[in-house]
Amino acid sequence: MSIGGGAANTTSLLRLINQRAVFTEIFRLGKASRPELAQVTGLSKPTISMALADLERARLVRPVGLRTGGTGRAALLYEIRPEAGWVLAADIGRTTVRLALADLVGDVVVRRQEPSAAGSYEGLLEQLVRLAAEVVAEAGLEPGDVTVTVFGTPGIHDKEGGALRLAPGLPGWERPGAVDALAGVTGSPYTVENDVDLAAVGEGAYGLGKEVSHFVLVSIGTGVGMGVVIDGGLYRGARGAAGEISYLPVSVPGGEDGPGFDRRRGEFESVASADGIVAAAARLGMTAATAEEVVDAARRGDAVARMVLAAEAGHVARALAGVIAVLDPELVVLGGGIGAQAGDLLAGPVAERLETLVALTPPRIEVSTLGPDAVILGALAVGLSTARDLVFERAVSAGPA
């Protein structure tokens, strides 16, 4: 839209600015009355009334009832029309694929989860297309009704090359153009984000980071990673690689030439991931097929398993010492499959070890309460923010309200 052309264009622009301000505040507050909107936006009540009328005609907001209980006349409340937009969130993992469809106010209406077909690029893509179609159909929608789709994946999304880097658990997705095929999953605008970054966004929107401006989420599972939130916003870095803490130098058995080190995975991931925990147990004579078995044994009081988790706490603390020195977070959230399962066994020892490693004021160490939904919730939070802008812009482009 041009902002030139005299008073008419200026008036039209101001009207759109007012509509967006009112729409944004209703989105933030959930429900709001004219007096409340006037207070938070600084706009006059007549201007608020005009903006609300425009938004109602565009089918973006609706009256929802009266606010009672105060003095004076009951105030009419407005809310976002839930059906004004739809967000599809997908968590694409090596072992599991999860999808959720939510309306524009964030209410999840359909979920799907099944074992991942990650072993085959074509198989995984077909799985995503099928699951998305099932989810959309169950909600009574058409694929074109989805406003935006957000995919959470391991690794780094190379936007220029249309590929995933550092995602060995998703073979074939490193090929140029491989990620671009996700455009066909629903046909809607889409975005691809690192799964641990999305978990951090989920913590900020719905979890332990909700009232915290500076925090990190450390995910420990089949791999390790970190999502960084600075001043309340996700920090991705220059190339989307912020938080790739798998490459932080920590001690590994035998050093860089020893059997415990995998250069492709990095030192920290080699020792601290699920495979590293199983390998550490084996070196101490304990037979365990999974890291979960080691954690369960530690809970039962097994001495060897407790030694393994003590070493794990040391690895995590050494990695966090560098993070704290650079970022000074207020909070560290432990997440991921192992981080969540063993977090209560790790948080205390990690905090104690940090006291000896860092002279700075240490952050709180807490365990995520979001469980396996962390990535999906983060994807929904990202998608809702994008969808809000898209539905408003589409309503504006459709013509004057």
Q: What is the token pair recorded at 227?
A: 């999502």
Are 51 and 43 within 8 A, CB to CB?
yes
The residue among 354, 349, 347, 355 whose CA lies nearest residue 320 is 354
Q: Where are the domains of the chain?
A: 8-81, 87-199+375-396, 209-369
Are 116 and 96 within 8 A, CB to CB?
yes
- Residues 57-93 as b or e (16 or more Cβ within 10 Å = b): ebebbbeeeeeeeeeeeebebbbbbeebbbbbbbbbb
Q: Which CATH class is domain 8-81?
A: mainly alpha
Residue 317 CA to its chain's centroid (Å): 24
The residue among 17, 2, 91 whose CA lies nearest residue 378 is 91
DSSP per-residue letters across 130-160 = HHHHHHHHHTT--GGG--EEEEEESSEEETT
Q: What is the token pair recorded at 223?
A: 């791999």
What CATH topology corresponds to 87-199+375-396?
A: Nucleotidyltransferase; domain 5 (3.30.420)
* Cα–Cα dist 238/246, whole Å: 18
* pLDDT tens over the chain, length 401 residues: 444 455 667 778 899 999 999 999 999 999 999 999 999 999 999 999 999 999 999 999 999 988 766 566 778 999 999 999 999 999 999 999 999 999 999 999 999 999 999 999 999 999 999 999 999 999 999 989 999 999 999 999 999 999 999 998 899 999 999 999 999 999 999 999 999 999 999 999 999 999 999 999 999 998 999 999 999 999 999 999 999 999 998 865 555 555 555 667 789 999 999 999 999 999 999 999 999 999 999 999 999 999 999 999 999 999 999 999 999 999 999 999 999 999 999 999 999 999 999 999 999 999 999 999 999 999 999 999 999 999 999 987 765 54
Residue 78 CA to its chain's centroid (Å): 28
CATH superfamily of 209-369: ATPase, nucleotide binding domain (3.30.420.40)
Same fold, 87-199+375-396 and 209-369: yes
Q: What share of the chain is helix, strand, coil (3-state, %, to 5)?
A: 45, 20, 30
Degrees (nearest 5) of the Cα angle 324, 325, 330?
A: 35
pTM of the entire structure?
0.90
Length in residues, the chain: 401
